[in-house]
Amino acid sequence: MELLTTFYVLTVLYLCFLIWNLFDQRRDQECYILGYQCYKPSDDRKLGTDRCGRIIGRNKNLGLNEFKFLLKAVVSSGVGEQTYAPRNVIEGREVNPTLNDGINEMEEFFYDSIGKLLAKQGISPSQIDVLVVNVSMLASLPSFACRIINHYKMRQDIKAFNLSGMGCSASLISLDIIKNIFKSQKNKFALLVTSESLSPNWYSGNERSMILANCLFRAGGCAILLTNKRSLKPKAILKLKCLVRTHHGAKDDAYNCCNQKEDEQGRLGFYLAKNLPKAATRAFIDNLRVLSPKVLPTRELLRFMIVSLIKRLKNIASSTKCGGTTSTSASKSPLNFKTGVEHFCLHTGGKAVIDGIGMSLDLCANDLEPARMTLHRFGNTSASSLWYVLGYMEAKKRLKKGNRVLMISFGAGFKCNSCLWEVMKDMEDRNVWDECIDEYPPESLGNPFMERFGWINNVEDPSTFQFPEFLE
């Protein structure tokens, strides 16, 4: 009898040990952000109205109709006068970029932002265990990851990943890699470096679907320090709750809607197709289907199920009565994401992208303000744009302990990636917004391009059109 009792006790203790061990392992698999540093180029790289005019005037492939199209695109883009361009564009060498132009653009960002981040966090480069770098439209040999390792003399056993061709959604793809590494390895530091190289990709042709990218994409980047060290949890600012990736690359129309290509004259650029919004919407909807149960409370999911059931029964009854089918609008999500999310960090793909997501999720002006202001101040900085938006929220002191932040990004392929963060402490760092955050939001997001160049719309005869000499 005593032997049997001892067996039962040992069995219970062993089961308790297994349960505790499983729980303890999960605690070491968490993904925390200790800090991040966005990049702000020097003021001599700013794209003011007159400088933009001079850059456009240098393109001899543009005619009157293209100038009118560009004026309309710039005015409606939501991009302001404080954004930044690569140095080769500022210096007038965008037609014939070199490999060094692209490498120098990236290295200038790497060494500025990574250095500031590590110094601020008191972390030595030799302590970094994992390095993930994403630059979509430029690949070099050695890779950018190797260049960073060499510059900072990182350890020889560092796990390095160098991503290219992943588009504006690459930041969350890099994050997914780090999250999965943290699941199998304890007590690690990871450095995520996200940017885009514009130097060799500034389009100098006249294809409208390709010159549009020049109006939106701007120089920028961000370095993020992450860890799964349990002892550093009190220092963490954000904790990853979930991450969802959706890929529509198997659908030809989605696959072809945005890509890097050459036009008929062999000029390299970034192509944006007319069906891009439709492809983005489909990917967004599929992503939300997976994301919703992970971020929304049970009461909201139950409400959605009941409302959907009632609506379906009404549609069936209406269809039977009318002898046909009825159509319903699917532009607005029936789910209230504000029941599970306090802040929305949206990719600054353009004014239409921000407004479209806002309409789909029924977001108010205050919810969209961070993305709109980031687009106005820094433009579309590709994969790093999410972190500028996060920086705006932090600089405005909106992020309080316990808040949840939803990040949504889109990328070529076509991809829609999203993730949910929990704020671990009140966040108040002003980051790259330090010098201008008090000026935002401005009274108007309008730019002076129409006032400065609106006269182009009054020109009707292309044969008599001549660009002003002071802008050439």
Catalytic residues: 168, 247, 343, 347, 376, 380
Strands 221-227 and 32-38: antiparallel
Q: How far apart are CA 460 and CA 462, in angstroms?
A: 6
Distances (CA, A) of 419 to 238, 243, 290: 12, 4, 11
What CA–CA distance (Å, rounded) separates 317 from 325?
A: 10
Check residue 375 and give left, alpha or beta (phi > 0: left; psi -120 to 50: alpha).
alpha
- What are the tokens at 97? 């970029």
**With contact defined as beta carbons under 8 Å apart, do 228 and 256 qualify?**
no
Residue type, 73: A
What three-state secondary structure class fits 162? strand
d(CA 382, CA 124): 28
Which residues are paired to 412 by β-bridges?
Answer: none
How far apart are the C-alpha atoms of 232 and 211, rounded to whole Å? 46
The Cα-based distances of 427 to 123, 368, 403, 420, 431 in angstroms read 20, 19, 11, 16, 11
Q: How far apart (Å, rounded) are the C-alpha atoms in residues 135 and 383?
A: 8
Q: Where do we find the tokens 């439709």?
A: 278
Helix axes 144-152, 99-121, angle to 10 degrees: 50
Separation in Å, CA 238 to CA 221, 344, 385: 19, 14, 17
